[in-house]
Amino acid sequence: MDFGFGDTEVKRYNNQELTEQENTDEFMFGIGISPGINFFAIENFAFEIQLDVLGYEYERSVTIDDEGNELITDSHNVDFKLDLLSLNFGLAYYFGAKN
């Protein structure tokens, strides 16, 4: 899961005089599905294998120029990939696990 936001201010000068100014607010949200499996090697320790399969990302950008004009850009991205070369491996320890 990804989440982020930002604020950008752009000023353009010509001969040391301010000619244009823009303010941009950005927002980004992403989520994905990553199925996997755990193999318990010994008590409380496990090896994990995970594969990224499906993802969704939304991005919104709002730009206001020095004249007050507003430009809104929305972007939606859905990806589906099945790439066995992108396996994620991990080692996990489970605190307080009972027999």
Instruction: State how far Cα 20 lies from the chain centre.
Output: 31
Q: How many CB atoms lie within 10 A of CB 26?
A: 15
pLDDT of residue 19: 87
Residue 6 has pLDDT above 90, yes or no: yes
Q: How many CB atoms lie within 10 A of CB 21?
A: 14
Residue 13 has pLDDT above 80, yes or no: yes
48 within 8 A of 36, measured Cβ to Cβ: yes
pLDDT of residue 97: 57
pLDDT of residue 34: 86
User: Measured on CA atoms in the order 36, 40, 43, 45, is the torsion positive or negative?
Assistant: negative
Residue 29 has pLDDT above 90, yes or no: yes
Total-model pTM: 0.65
